[in-house]
Homo-oligomer: A and B are copies of this chain.
Amino acid sequence: MTKAFSPSPLFERVERARRRKRKIKDTQITLAHGSGGRAMHELVEGLFLEYLGNPILDTLEDQAILDIAQANGHRSARLAFTTDSYVVDPIFFPGGDIGKLAIHGTVNDLAMSGARPLYLSAGFILEEGFPIDDLKRILDSMSSAAREAGVQIVTGDTKVVQKGSADRLFINTSGIGVIDSDVRISAARAQVGDKVIVNGSIGDHGTTIMIARGELELETEIESDTAPLHLLVNEMLTEAERIGAPDGIHSLRDPTRGGVATTLNEIALKSEVHIRIFEGKIPIKDEVQGACEILGLDPLYVANEGKLIAIVSAEIAEQLVARMRDNPLGRKACVIGEVVAEPEGIVSMVTGFGGTRIVDMLAGEQLPRIC
């Protein structure tokens, strides 16, 4: 959450805390462990990596980059590989459903490495009693989303558990993409002087889900922004090459769980830089802003499903933004911040009033089962 700013002593305390090895102190899983925020990072870094760690997993990118060596000695293929389980509640919501999300989310995790998404797997866990008509609707939606994104579902699995042992259905999609160019996009490559770009307004998806749960009776036109971003990324890479800076896109990440704030914190930590964003430049729809105020949410922490954060070298930022605006998914693209040296591992925001606040990683869990 954004915290009141006080100068260097606070920064130093935060920096010290950040350097401590993450450890998990809880004895039970809590909803916060699935938040995308601090507790999830503790679980992943303090537990999963301890047991399963290896040089590829340890990078904690949203996708693994694999060099598939052929036994025959031919040049290896460079692949991206990713997985996500979808447990969103409700399963149908304005702008999409769990099936569409399961395609877009995995396509986007591949795209954020510069990969061309090709093949998806789909694993279904179904609750006994789940209506076949709802399943048809979800499969139809997955089929359209896959076709539009140009990917094929090539392998699958179905499990059924007794009534009460799962909530309707969960879908896992894993994906494989091929990286044709020599790009090395990584959350660890943000550099001092870089600009921070977002491709449009933030907070739409999470706000839509919260409203769709009907806990507050809000009537709005807000829809999930769920969309496949690989073509936009491809255009960005092509434009960077055209400008003569093929390596100018340093980091790409889709700010899903934990929102833009958490994603920027991940990049700042991995790249050991400070990221400064400007409140007045962050595009937020009036309706989303209004709904978030009523729901008690900060749009910076709300999940997006059709947004990306790009950290790019300053020389190409404006041209990239112009190119992004030609794509329907980048109409509102803009520079929202910059990368500076210190205090490293931290994100700050210059507010509308000219003050500065620390924008921390999401703490706790405000939005369980958002994706």
Contacts and interface: CB of A to CB of B under 8 A. Distances in A.
A153 B119 contact: no
Interface string A207-218: 000000000000
B79 A34 contact: no
A51 B143 contact: yes
A155 B61 CA distance: 8
Copies of this chain, whole number: 2
- Of A34, A131, A174, A365, most buried by chain B (CB within 10 Å of CB) is A174
Contacts of A176: 66, 68, 79, 81, 176
A367 to B, nearest CB: 12
A220 interface: no
A86 B128 CA distance: 16
A40 B158 contact: yes
Contacts of A43: 158
Nearest to A26: B132
Contacts of A71: 178, 180
A28 B132 contact: yes
A68 B68 CA distance: 10
A13 interface: no
A268 to B, nearest CB: 22
A4 interface: no
Contacts of A162: 31, 368-369
A273 B309 CA distance: 55
A16 interface: no
5 contacts: A34-B161, A44-B158, A51-B136, A57-B154, A71-B178
